[in-house]
Structure 1
Amino acid sequence: MFFQYPGNTSKQETANEELEKLALDDEPDTRLGQGTLSFNEVPEVHSQAGAHIRSWAKVQRGTVGEDSAGPVDVTNGEIMRRPVLKFEVVSARTVDHNSEKKHVAYTIMVRKDAIQPDPNPAVIERRYSDFLELYESLRREFPSLMTSVTFPKKVLLGNFAPGVISERSAGFEALLEHIITEDRLRESSCLLSFLQGREQREARQWMEAQRYDQAIPLLENSFRLLNKLHTDRHPSVMLALCRLVACCSTDPVTTSAERFADLALRRYEAVSDADLLQFYVPLLQLCVRLWWSLGRDKRPLEARLEDLKRRGIKVDGCRTLFDALMALDKN
């Protein structure tokens, strides 16, 4: 099934492009500016992924070297550079909480650089055991694709020595760079779990506690990360976007719900994946309520719902988008 609602195509496409830029590029609160890295973690607040992501909002971005800009194309007389996806271990810290065994946590910055540095890199924090689980899972599932990868070995002593940390960081970067060059590895469920599992679990805890303001940065970070790795309408990207929309619309304080809801509606116009379409009606219904609260014209959205109903698609009595996604994540 394929949804398309044509209008004034050129004007609509221009408006959509501006919307996409607004939602994905123009985010001052997530743009890395001047400052120094500071971890201000509060004890016993889940896994602290949210605090860690927030801390990177004040870190100065480095400049992108020529080698990382990628191959050069000449199109219409202009030199264009293809965006290059990069994984970089940018810091490491020793974690010694009473609830966890002492270990080193590595911060990985994920960015997609073109002529200019990515203004909205995503960051995740993982430990050696997380990388090891990813490596071993991929070796079991895709042995022929992993023969060339050398993984840093465990050491009995010296885990916290600078030399060991540096060597492991290089190995982790090499592993991730290899994964994204192979389509089957890039699409693997174990990579998806590695990239968003921790943040998604913590976001769910915050949402169950009705602390939506704490869940939103986690969900937005995951959405941006996956959107660098995959196409705009990839199932994992769309699910991440829907989670973000559902959470933003539930939080009475955030002002991001409208922007991300608009973005989700635009992307759904070209979605045909059956698993994703189950969330389209709840998304439309959410947007009808949101548009009404914002004083926007909700009639085009109501017309879409009527059209779907005429096609025999269940519209009445559906779960909310929030409840549908929470139920999905339980399974």
Structure 2
Amino acid sequence: MDPDEPPTGSSLTTKQLQQNLKAVKQRERPLRLLFEIPSSQIIEQTLSRHVVYAVVVMRSGSFDSSRVSVERRYSDFSRLHQQLLEEFDEELEEVVLPRKLLTGNFNSEVISERRLALQDYLAMLFAVRSVRHSRLFSDFFTEPEQRRAHSLLRAGQFGPAMEQLQAVIQIQEKLLPWQKPTLMVASLSALAVCHRDLEDPDQAFAAAHRALPAVRRYGLKAYRAALLELLLDVGYQLGRPVAQIQEELTTLRDAERGEVSYRSLKEIVVQEFI
């Protein structure tokens, strides 16, 4: 037998067969999100104090080395629960948010118990199909950071804005199997603007190019024209072939004359999350 050829079914050892079967099962294992709340912190302010919980989001079913975390207060969980009840009341009959405490909120044992209870709460929410496909669910993990990133962008603080956006995009990537592909358009567009203003055209081109397929598919006209404009301009700088981009932009404007926005991508981005 040629040593360079893979072994056939008849020549595999029992151990190799078992390894192959295990690999197949791992590939076929359905994806799901896992949530951990490994730590918490008491935040002292002038007239008040509160607890923030570090919420880690991971994806199972495939190797996921990226552990992205966000910080949320109990009030954030409570707000999410009320919003979900308004939309999915009957489907949440068995999902109970840990109750609000009137005393003992800053006791270490109480905080530890609440961490585990909130972790279980997120797992129960994810188990409800309508919830995990809801934009309310994804917004819980990303919207505060997106708002912060866009605020920094509007202030011209592109470096810090980019750091926030990269964290948002990592979480959105984990959520995408259950969310619409348009989920990442705003954050990728903002990231492209940051890279361009930081004079990194290669990364600006990559972020804009990544956002474009969902924009095309779902007919986001304003974003499409603006992304094509940025790709065309940055592509010229990089010496990339841009004839197809130019043709697509020209065709779009001819077909949608009077309807396509002529705002730049930056002008669109700065209006988000105001």
TM-score normalised to the size of structure 2? Answer: 0.80
CA–CA separation in structure 1 for the residues paired with 2:267 and 2:153: 11
Q: Which residue of 1 aligns with 2:16?
A: none
Unaligned runs of 5+ in 1: 1-72
Instruction: Give the one of 49, 54, 75 matched to 1:129.
Output: 75
Q: Which has the higher contact order (CA 8 A, sep 6+)?
A: 1
The DSSP-based 3-state class of the residue aligned with 2:273 is helix
Distance 1:306 1:243, change over 3 A: same
Q: Check if 1:173 corresponds to 2:173.
A: no
Q: Which residue of 2 aligns with 1:193?
A: 139
- Shift in Å at residue 317 of structure 1? 6.6
Q: Which residue of 2 aligns with 1:222?
A: 168
Q: Which residue of 2 aligns with 1:109?
A: 56
Q: Which residue of 2 aligns with 1:38?
A: none
CA–CA separation in structure 1 for the residues paired with 2:128 and 2:257: 38
Distance 1:243 1:74, change over 3 A: farther
Letter in 1 for 2:104: G
Q: Check if 1:242 corresponds to 2:186.
A: no
- Shift in Å at residue 303 of structure 1? 1.4
The DSSP-based 3-state class of the residue aligned with 1:152 is coil
CA–CA separation in structure 2 for the residues paired with 1:181 and 1:217: 31
Output aligned runs, 1:1-331, within 5 Å: 79-80=26-27, 81-98=29-46, 101-116=48-63, 118-231=64-177, 234-252=181-199, 256-269=203-216, 271=217, 273-274=218-219, 276-313=220-257, 318-330=262-274
Q: Is this contact kept in 1: 2:222–2:261, CA < 8 A?
A: no
Q: Is this contact kept in 1: 2:150–2:190, CA < 8 A?
A: no
Distance 1:92 1:144, change over 3 A: same
- Percent identity between the aligned chains? 25
- Residue-by-residue CA offset, 1:179-215 (whole Å, 9 max, x unaligned): 2233332243433432222112211221121001011
Q: Is this contact kept in 1: 2:221–2:261, CA < 8 A?
A: no
- Supply the RMSD in Å over aligned alpha carbons: 2.8
Which of structures 1 and 2 has the bigger CA Rg?
2
Letter in 2 for 1:304: E
User: Could you say which structure has the higher helix fraction?
Assistant: 2
Distance 1:177 1:314, change over 3 A: farther
CA–CA separation in structure 2 for the residues paired with 1:101 and 1:286: 46
Task: Tell me how many residue pairs correspond in the alignment.
Answer: 253
- Shift in Å at residue 76 of structure 1? 9.9
Unaligned runs of 5+ in 2: 1-19
- Shift in Å at residue 225 of structure 1? 1.0
- Shift in Å at residue 252 of structure 1? 2.6
Q: Which residue of 2 aligns with 1:44?
A: none
- Shift in Å at residue 254 of structure 1? 8.1
- Shift in Å at residue 285 of structure 1? 0.3
Letter in 2 for 1:183: R
CA–CA separation in structure 2 for the residues paired with 1:238 and 1:88: 27
Q: Is this contact kept in 1: 2:26–2:61, CA < 8 A?
A: no
- Shift in Å at residue 178 of structure 1? 2.3
Letter in 2 for 1:206: L
CA–CA separation in structure 2 for the residues paired with 1:169 and 1:277: 43
Q: Is this contact kept in 1: 2:26–2:62, CA < 8 A?
A: no
Distance 1:143 1:186, change over 3 A: same
TM-score normalised to the size of structure 1? Answer: 0.68
Distance 1:262 1:120, change over 3 A: farther
